Structure 1
Amino acid sequence: MQVLNWITTAPRRTLALIAAACVALLAFGMYLQHVQGLEPCPMCIVQRYALVLVAVCTGLASLRGSKGWWMSLGIVALAASGFGAFVAARQTWLQWYPPEFASCGRDFYGMIENYPVSRAIPMIFRGSGDCAAVDWTFLGGSIANWSFVCFVGFAAVLLVLLLKGGKRA
């Protein structure tokens, strides 16, 4: 019960912590890409965009004390968290049950540049050999597994914050 009180007593602080956690996760993703040499698959890139949207919305929401302001941005952040969790769950599914014919198709930017959006979006969610590969694990979970856990955690905190309405910061 104290955790719920801590979350809802100062919504601006909670939103700022979510934004900071998102930035830390994005920095870790950049570390894995640029230092460890792991190339992100199309679904990983979509998850990064969802994480950026959560970070921007919660960061902006934490700057203003107006309840309508932070609640509106909190709803957008909640939707982005749900979308990120969906993509991470789909990638986890592909990792657990890889497609019979793994084909390393175009990269994310190649899809967007060469195909209309109506064809590129389904191609991203279909996944590829890259999306089913598990290149890094921590405590038995892949990047997609941990991404799912983080997005669900952000969504849960945002949902509690929005449902309780929070006291004015």
Structure 2
Amino acid sequence: MRISDRGIFGGLAAVSLGLLAGGLALGEAFRLQPCYWCNFQRFLYMVLACVGLAGALLPRWRRPWALLAALAALGGVLAAGEQSWMQYAPQNAVECGFGDPTLVERLVDWLGSVWPSMFMVTGLCKDKDWVFLGLSLANWSGVCFCVLFGVSLWALFRRPVR
């Protein structure tokens, strides 16, 4: 059975929205305070959902949508990796929000001013408040972004369904 391009991109959008909703639900249930990297990952899940929706609606542009999805997912892998490293070696990491703001911090601050209930930074990046099976939420997000990156690459390089 071959999966259509619409199915792949629709699934990418649905999974991204599901992961975003799951992260928000975990945050509410366990009173987790989001940091800069958490909020940047939220933003990337939204970008992936939008790209997935665009790919499902305009499947003839499969390669550009898949490339954009792969870049967003790779950004998520890097963001989750940075946060995971900060949680693993907090003594070696400079906490977000201290010192000159980075591009990510500026973007998240702007998003927080536009949509505070979604992007307001209230936590520290080094905090590891929730752990499941030995992995923090940042670690799990990294795993999910790796899977989404793999699916995006598959969509980019596979033969189109005729």
Whether TM-score is above 0.5 comes out as: yes
Regions of 4+ moved over 6 Å: none
The change in CA–CA distance for 1:11 and 1:35 in structure 2 (over 3 A counts) is: same
Match of residue 83 from structure 2: 91
Long gaps (5+) in structure 2: 106-122
Match of residue 69 from structure 2: 77
Question: How far apart in 1 are the matches of 2:25 and 2:159?
Answer: 36
Name the amino acid aligned to 1:80: A
The change in CA–CA distance for 1:105 and 1:164 in structure 2 (over 3 A counts) is: closer
Q: Does 1:158 align with 2:152?
A: yes
Equivalent residue for 1:49, pick from 25, 37, 43? 43
Query: TM-score scaled by structure 2?
Result: 0.79
Question: How far apart in 2 are the matches of 1:122 and 1:73?
Answer: 24
Return the index of the structure with the highest Cα Rg: 1
The change in CA–CA distance for 1:19 and 1:34 in structure 2 (over 3 A counts) is: same
Report the more deviating stretch, 141-150 or 32-41.
32-41
The change in CA–CA distance for 1:63 and 1:103 in structure 2 (over 3 A counts) is: closer
Q: Give the number of aligned pairs.
A: 146
Match of residue 133 from structure 1: 127
C-alpha deviation, 1:102, in angstroms: 7.1
Question: How far apart in 1 are the matches of 2:157 and 2:6?
Answer: 15
Question: How far apart in 2 are the matches of 1:94 and 1:159?
Answer: 28
SS of structure 1 residue aligned to 2:21: helix
Query: TM-score scaled by structure 1?
Result: 0.76
Question: How far apart in 1 are the matches of 2:140 and 2:96?
Answer: 23
SS of structure 2 residue aligned to 1:132: coil
Long gaps (5+) in structure 1: 112-118
Question: How far apart in 2 are the matches of 1:134 and 1:162?
Answer: 35
Question: Identity over aligned residues, as a percent?
Answer: 32
The change in CA–CA distance for 1:34 and 1:25 in structure 2 (over 3 A counts) is: same
